[in-house]
Chains A and B, each alone.
Chain A
Amino acid sequence: MTKEDCKKLVIDIISDIAPDEDLTAIKPEVKLRDQLQLDSMDFLDIVMELRKRHGIEVPEADYSHLASLESCAEYLTPKFAAKA
């Protein structure tokens, strides 16, 4: 899986969690919180959906890696690779 694939999976999750957000113009390097209205409940859901859909575990200490789309891809791509 490439980092781009990984970003797409994260966007899929966010679009299900927050269907009322416009995800077409997300800047990958900008924090998600700064461009979307996501609160801590929504971030918990990103973690939970990663686990439910893809079997990826994100320990609480690593939540900061989910700040932007770019950092998500950086952090998650090796995890997807390890599963494959």
Chain B
Amino acid sequence: MSGLAAGIRLAHFGQKVCIFERHNAPGGLNSFYSLGGRKYDVGLHAMTNYVPPGVKGTPLGKLLRQLRIEREEFALCPQKQSKISFGPRGETTLRFTNDFAVLDAEVAARFPDQADDWRKLVELVKAYDDVSLDARPLSARVVVGRHISDPLLTDMIFCPVMYYGSAQERDMEFGQFVIMFKALFLEGFARPLDGVRVIIRVLLDKFRAAGGERRMKCGVRQIIEEQGRAARLVLDDGTEITAGHVISSIGYPETMKLCAPARTAEADANTGALTFIEAISVYDRQPAEWGWGDDTIIFFNDSERFEYARSKQQVDIRSGVICLPNNFDFAGAQLPEGIFRVTCLANYDLWAHLPEEQYQAGKKRWFAEAVRSARRFLPAADDAVLAGAQLATDMFTPRTIRKFTGHLNGAIYGAPHKIRNGRTHLSNLHLCGTDQGFLGIVGAMLSGISMANYHVLQGSAGQDR
């Protein structure tokens, strides 16, 4: 998605652009797949950064302008409400919607002695320059800890922010925290009725109209270095390509490993460890029929402290994210089937090398465990009703992520240390996407835009290249 956004910018301004994609489907980490006649979204629980029409100066508005996309083309439908639910039975809950006042009031009601400090933190977040490409890294735990002293509130704030974008275990860079806090709480959630493919389709159409070229099922095998530049790309089929600029959206360690000579040490020192499973259930009716019609997204945790780290078992079911896509406000329309998704932290190594039989057994076991864990945070529903309504299930594991996206360790959020300015050791090789550090779907697109502007267009604004 970041690559498509970069490509649209460059092609629009007359650069000759070609996007090489190893997979047969576009979108990268924000894609979709078909199985049994159904289309499933890969990444999209919700598109973050949603603001209503007329709100300017936010990431969504910037990307629409930069890509010359009309807001209506994305056909975004806002969430109903979401919540953060902590304790073995969800004893402490903070509701939030696309109106920040709701979360603010919930925090003040549940944590009255923290309310003033919470508001100071919010002011700091609002004023922070999170798009600076050369900011000094700060620990979000340290900065948030200066304001919030209650460990439960701290964990409840960090849980959604980390789950929706942190590549680092237990902490995150404060700039990343600010990006996510704004994206989730100060802005909000939405999705097109038909999911992520609507957004991908718009991007593909813009790219094509601008004169961009795409080669699918055609990965880049090697980036050959000569005199400090990426001199040539070797494609999977052996063809060699030259380019004035190369923008890589495959991730930092993945890019370093493609370089010849390879930068293995750099890659190994900055490879992510955080990966996930997702258990997806499809029903023949709306989940509202058994009382699951209120919440769009639920971030849950059952333990004393929330631990965002690589799972010690195949899956860590203590915490997770529930997504009920039916619970967006589709303005009278509705998805034809009920969908219930549960995402939990996982461990790549414990999935990666299993023989097929054990792998399938693991999927079966952890699907049930993840669903059981998540259901503690939803209104009680009859097992027989759910089983009777179930049409299909699917599950992706860290192994699935590695296979289809190429991300080492199945690390969806990529490298723990982001390269904000997108520079590499080669003067004309730049990074965009998750490892540049703008997060989520909107972030991915803005990353591509920023890097195309910064590395290619700004430099060429006054001269021919």
- Please give the residue numbers on chain A whose beta carbons come within 8 Å of chain B beta carbons, in ascending order: 16-20, 37, 39, 41-42, 44-45, 47-48, 51-52, 57-60
Contact = CB atoms under 8 A, between A and B. Distances in A.
Interface string B441-465: 0000000010001000110011100
Main secondary structure of the interface of A (DSSP, over half): helix
A19 B457 CA distance: 22
A44 B65 contact: no
A43 to B, nearest CB: 10
A59 B461 CA distance: 7
A39 B65 CA distance: 11
A45 B57 contact: no
A59 to B, nearest CB: 4
**Band of interface residues on B:** 20 to 34
B70 A44 contact: no
Nearest to A47: B461
A59 B65 contact: no
Given A16-B68, A41-B66, A58 B61 contact: no
B68 A39 contact: no
Contacts of A20: 53-54, 56, 61, 64-65, 71
Given A16-B68, A19-B70, A37-B56, A44 B62 contact: no
A48 B15 CA distance: 12
8 contacts: A17-B68, A19-B65, A37-B57, A41-B453, A44-B458, A45-B66, A52-B13, A59-B462
Contacts of B57: 37, 39
A41 B62 contact: yes
A75 to B, nearest CB: 14
Interface of B: 12-14, 53-54, 56-57, 61-62, 64-66, 68, 70-71, 449, 453, 457-458, 461-463
Contacts of B61: 20
B235 to A, nearest CB: 30
Contacts of A60: 458, 461-462
Contacts of B53: 20
A59 B463 CA distance: 8
